[in-house]
């Protein structure tokens, strides 16, 4: 295989990574943007989504598409419900104060992760893809499911954009983001909006996980890498910016595959993390937004 | 601060140190070992407390300072055949240098960004220890043999692998750190740190160099954490990447929260209780870190002052 096809393959793989990453990071970004809460447990919502997907899929025998369909609908809903409860029981009582919520979400991280270890176990388990066609390119065959993941992610991103920019729900969310007190004064139920956004963010992470779980297996520690990568994406893209998040996810997803081809994955992760920490130190508004909100 | 408060403070802390010393003779083997470990780890917590409790800098990356001390001491012993004293010095120096560099960068940010930046720097440090597996042996870690851990004293050489020696070494480090912390928080510098925590703008307006004070606080905090790490390496003879992982940044936060942030005795109380809690939990179930998660949430929701902090607020106003 020559360099061209090899590069195409790396790009396709990078696009799949970017597609899933964009969804996960967007969830984190929404929560930070609207609520000013840094959700350290975001990666665990992702993990929970994958683990539940395995469980739902295992309930249905026969056609794998049915199991996948069940997972894709129910898993994000359950995860969103868990997040909703966590918001009502914990975050709301802390009045969304920055340091308290970080400590609390660290606690949440351990609780979800350790409960998954208790009930799901330490094994990695696969979920069968809903279909296993291959698309035969002139140089290699490529899984149609992976292409489906890319397009599904694009569709969901467009849907989210529509929700935020063209609907009443989005208007209310943006109003809360811009000025919480003023929104409250205009009779927007800010508490409900917060709980809803927290659930939505967690649900997006879970949805991303359901999409990836036929490609990567479900494991109770699988939330760590997406958490770190989502942080990286959200920081480079500018905290709370939708367009920046998508651009940064593409950048990170594509370069992740290509850099890992040339360097050791550990070194790649090391350099990426260092770079992002420096971005946060010297350009807290992110690389793409000219004068966004500084990270406070 | 009145004279009688000073007397009471000296009496209380002196009594604690004497009590701990007396435990050397009565504790059964297992708890004897645990107490030595808890004393070293609570030095780490006391270091963390300087930054988090007194200065209000919520760092999520103190594992890197602990690990800097750990590797700063263990690597020269293991690879260069250094003796214990210079290695301890190397560990302290590594922690100090790292703390100054990290603080210079991270202190440009505030609040949430500070937490994330420290978390990320610490993650870079952790990945570095994994990347140089040839020297650090990664998660598996370095084991320092007994022969490498003999301490040269005026009276002759003693082995740190001996349980009693280890206890006294840990006790000495603990006492030193306790006394240093006590002096520090009662000094002008310590009170300036608390004032910065409470109202940074006002301190700046009063003409204090806030950045310099915070930098100094991080340097002291990082060096004390590194001292704990270096002591851990030579006393327990093990240095692994696990000590640089996020978990060891979370644990000191938990210890300090439980014991009471910005109290001198809180870190020790918190470390002691949490150590036994996790120890007990892990003898019943595999997922023993569940305790950590539940404790963090309960503390932040219902008990933000911690044990010693609550005692101070309710009964003993003079507690430092």
CA distance B198 to chain A (A): 14
Put simply, whether A281 touches B (Cβ < 8 Å) is yes
Domain extent, residue A107, equals 23-124+141-222
* % of residues, chain A, pLDDT over 70: 94
Q: Which two tokens stand for residue B87?
A: 């290695």
Which of A94, A109, A112 is facing B301, going by the closest CB pair?
A94
Question: Does A102 contact B112 at a Cβ distance shorter than 8 Å?
Answer: yes
Closest CA to A195 of A181, A209, A176, A179: A176
The total domain count for chain A is 1
Chain B residues in contact with A225 by the CB 8 A cut-off are none
Question: Does A284 contact B109 at a Cβ distance shorter than 8 Å?
Answer: yes
Return the pLDDT at B163: 83
Q: How confident is the model at residue B2 (pLDDT cuts 50, 70, 90)?
A: low
Chain A residues in contact with B252 by the CB 8 A cut-off are none
CA distance A132 to chain B (A): 36
Q: Which two tokens stand for residue A62?
A: 């026969």
Q: Which two tokens stand for residue B315?
A: 């009964």
Question: Does B120 contact A114 at a Cβ distance shorter than 8 Å?
Answer: no
Return the pLDDT at A288: 64
Question: Does A99 contact B115 at a Cβ distance shorter than 8 Å?
Answer: yes
CA distance A222 to chain B (A): 15
Question: Does A98 contact B108 at a Cβ distance shorter than 8 Å?
Answer: no
Q: Alpha carbon B88 to chain centroid distance?
A: 15
Q: Which two tokens stand for residue A51?
A: 């683990």
Return the pLDDT at A6: 78
Give the separation between CA B96 and CA B57, rounded to whole angstroms.
17
Closest CA to B69 of B228, B177, B248, B184: B228
CA distance B278 to chain A (A): 13
List the single residue in A with minimal CA-CA distance to B104.
A281
Give the separation between CA A274 and CA B123, rounded to whole angstroms.
9
Q: How confident is the model at residue A275 (pLDDT cuts 50, 70, 90)?
A: confident
A260 versus A109: the higher-pLDDT residue is A109
Q: What is the mean pLDDT of residues A235-249?
A: 82
What ipTM is given for this predicted complex?
Answer: 0.84
Chain B residues in contact with A109 by the CB 8 A cut-off are 293
Residue A205 pLDDT exceeds 90: yes
Chain A residues in contact with B110 by the CB 8 A cut-off are 296
Return the pLDDT at A225: 85
Give the separation between CA B198 and CA B55, rounded to whole angstroms.
9
Using an 8 Å Cβ cutoff, are B221 and B181 in contact? Answer: no
The four Cα atoms B179, B183, B184, B185 give a dihedral, to 10 degrees, of 100
Q: How confident is the model at residue B82 (pLDDT cuts 50, 70, 90)?
A: confident
Q: What is the mean pLDDT of residues A189-198?
A: 93
Using an 8 Å Cβ cutoff, are B173 and B231 in contact? Answer: yes
Which of A107, A113, A228 is facing B294, going by the closest CB pair?
A107
Return the pLDDT at B78: 87
Q: What is the mean pLDDT of residues A112-117?
A: 94
CA distance B185 to chain A (A): 23
**What are the domain boundaries of chain B?**
3-244
Q: pLDDT per residue over A5-38, tens digit each?
A: 877 888 888 899 999 999 999 999 999 888 888 8
Question: Does A118 contact B295 at a Cβ distance shorter than 8 Å?
Answer: no
Closest CA to B73 of B228, B251, B252: B228
Q: What is the mean pLDDT of residues B122-151?
A: 86
Q: How confident is the model at residue A239 (pLDDT cuts 50, 70, 90)?
A: low
Interface size, chain A vs chain B, as Cβ–Cβ contacts under 8 Å? 119
Closest CA to B20 of B46, B45, B40, B6: B40
Q: Where are the alpha helices (DSSP H) in A120-241?
A: 144-166, 168-178, 180-185, 190-212, 224-237
Return the pLDDT at A133: 85
Residues of A (203-222) whose Cβ lies below 8 Å from B: none
pLDDT, mean over chain A: 87
Chain A residues in contact with B124 by the CB 8 A cut-off are 270, 273-274, 277
Residues of B (25-64) whose Cβ lies below 8 Å from A: 58, 60
Residue A295 pLDDT exceeds 80: no
Question: Does A118 contact B294 at a Cβ distance shorter than 8 Å?
Answer: no
Give the separation between CA B75 and CA B73, rounded to whole angstroms.
6
Question: Does B131 contact A93 at a Cβ distance shorter than 8 Å?
Answer: no
Q: How confident is the model at residue A268 (pLDDT cuts 50, 70, 90)?
A: confident
Which of A106, A114, A277 is facing B250, going by the closest CB pair?
A106
Using an 8 Å Cβ cutoff, are A178 and A199 in contact? Answer: no
Return the pLDDT at A229: 87
Return the pLDDT at A293: 43
Q: pLDDT per residue over B153-204, tens digit each?
A: 777 778 777 888 889 999 999 999 999 999 999 899 999 999 999 999 899 9
Which of B111, B116, B290 is facing A111, going by the closest CB pair?
B290
Q: pLDDT per residue over A36-91, tens digit each?
A: 888 999 999 999 999 999 999 988 887 888 999 999 999 999 999 999 999 999 99
Is A50 part of a structural domain of the chain? yes
CA distance B61 to chain A (A): 12
Which of A94, A98, A269 is facing B111, going by the closest CB pair?
A98
Q: How confident is the model at residue A1 (pLDDT cuts 50, 70, 90)?
A: low
Q: What is the mean pLDDT of residues A125-130?
A: 87
Q: pLDDT per residue over B8-60, tens digit each?
A: 888 888 889 888 888 888 888 888 889 999 999 999 999 999 999 999 999 99
Return the pLDDT at A296: 34
Question: Does B292 contact A110 at a Cβ distance shorter than 8 Å?
Answer: yes
Is A16 part of a structural domain of the chain? no
* % of residues, chain B, pLDDT over 90: 55
Question: Does B117 contact A113 at a Cβ distance shorter than 8 Å?
Answer: no
pTM exceeds 0.90 for this model: no
* % of residues, chain B, pLDDT over 70: 99
Chain A residues in contact with B105 by the CB 8 A cut-off are 277-278, 281
B99 versus B1: the higher-pLDDT residue is B99
pLDDT, mean over chain B: 90
Residue A290 pLDDT exceeds 60: no
Q: How confident is the model at residue A240 (pLDDT cuts 50, 70, 90)?
A: low
CA distance B63 to chain A (A): 15
Residues of B (238-257) whose Cβ lies below 8 Å from A: 250, 253, 257
Q: pLDDT per residue over B211-224, tens digit each?
A: 999 999 999 999 99
CA distance A100 to chain B (A): 6
Residue A148 pLDDT exceeds 90: yes
Test mutation, A33, A95, A103, chain B, max B CBs within 10 A: A103
């Amino acid at each position: 295989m020559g360099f061209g096809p090899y590069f195409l393959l790396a790009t396709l793989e990078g696009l799949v990574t970017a597609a899933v990453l964009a969804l996960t990071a967007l969830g984190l970004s929404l929560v930070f943007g609207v609520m000013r809460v840094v959700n350290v447990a975001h990666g665990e919502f992702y993990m929970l989504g994958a683990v539940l997907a395995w469980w739902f899929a295992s309930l249905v025998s026969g056609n794998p598409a049915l199991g996948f369909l069940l997972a894709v609908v129910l898993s994000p809903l359950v995860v969103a419900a868990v997040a909703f409860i966590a918001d009502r029981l914990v975050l709301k009582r802390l009045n969304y104060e920055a340091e308290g919520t970080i400590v609390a979400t660290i606690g949440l991280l351990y609780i979800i992760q350790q409960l998954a270890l208790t009930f799901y176990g330490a094994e990695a388990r696969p979920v069968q893809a809903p279909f296993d066609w291959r698309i035969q390119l002139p140089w290699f065959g490529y899984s149609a499911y992976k292409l489906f993941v890319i397009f599904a992610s694009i569709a969901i991103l467009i849907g989210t954009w529509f929700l935020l920019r063209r609907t009443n729900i989005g208007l209310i969310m943006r109003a809360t983001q811009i000025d919480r007190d003023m929104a409250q004064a205009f009779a927007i139920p800010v508490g409900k909006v917060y709980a809803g956004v927290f659930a939505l963010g967690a649900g997006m992470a879970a949805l991303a996980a359901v999409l990836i779980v036929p490609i990567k297996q479900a494991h109770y520690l699988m939330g760590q890498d997406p958490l770190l990568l989502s942080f990286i994406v959200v920081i480079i893209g500018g905290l709370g910016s939708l367009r920046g998040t998508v651009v940064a996810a593409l950048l990170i997803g594509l370069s992740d595959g290509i850099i890992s081809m040339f360097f050791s994955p550990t070194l790649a992760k090391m350099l990426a993390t260092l770079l992002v920490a420096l971005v946060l130190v010297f350009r807290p508004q992110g690389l793409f937004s000219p004068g966004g909100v500084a990270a406070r | 601060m009145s004279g009688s408060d000073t007397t009471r403070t000296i009496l209380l802390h002196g009594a604690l140190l004497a009590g701990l010393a007396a435990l050397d003779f009565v504790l059964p083997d297992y708890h004897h070992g645990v107490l030595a470990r808890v004393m070293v780890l609570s030095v780490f917590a006391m270091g963390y407390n300087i930054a988090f409790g007194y200065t209000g800098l919520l760092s999520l990356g103190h594992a890197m300072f602990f690990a800097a001390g750990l590797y700063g001491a263990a690597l020269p012993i293991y690879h260069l055949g250094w003796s214990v004293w210079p290695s301890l010095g190397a560990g302290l120096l590594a922690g100090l240098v790292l703390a100054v560099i990290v603080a210079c960068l991270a202190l440009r940010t505030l609040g949430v960004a500070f937490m994330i930046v420290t978390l990320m720097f610490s993650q870079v440090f952790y990945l570095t220890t994994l990347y140089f597996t040839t020297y650090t042996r990664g998660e598996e870690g370095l084991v320092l043999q007994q022969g490498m851990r003999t301490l040269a004293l005026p009276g002759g050489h003693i082995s740190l692998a001996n349980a009693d020696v280890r206890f006294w070494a840990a006790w000495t480090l603990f006492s030193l750190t306790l006394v240093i912390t006590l002096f520090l928080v009662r000094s002008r510098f310590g009170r300036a740190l608390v004032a910065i925590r409470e109202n940074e703008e006002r301190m700046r307006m009063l003409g204090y160099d806030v950045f310099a004070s915070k930098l100094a606080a991080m340097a002291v905090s990082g060096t004390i954490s590194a001292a704990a790490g270096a002591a851990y390496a030579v006393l327990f003879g093990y240095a692994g990447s696990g000590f640089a992982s996020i978990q060891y940044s979370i644990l000191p936060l938990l210890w300090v929260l439980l014991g009471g942030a910005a109290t001198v005795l809180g870190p020790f109380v918190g470390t002691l209780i949490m150590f036994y809690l996790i120890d007990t939990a892990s003898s019943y179930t595999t997922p023993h870190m569940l305790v950590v998660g539940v404790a963090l949430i309960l503390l932040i929701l219902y008990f933000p002052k911690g044990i010693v902090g609550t005692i101070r607020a309710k009964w003993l106003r003079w507690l430092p």
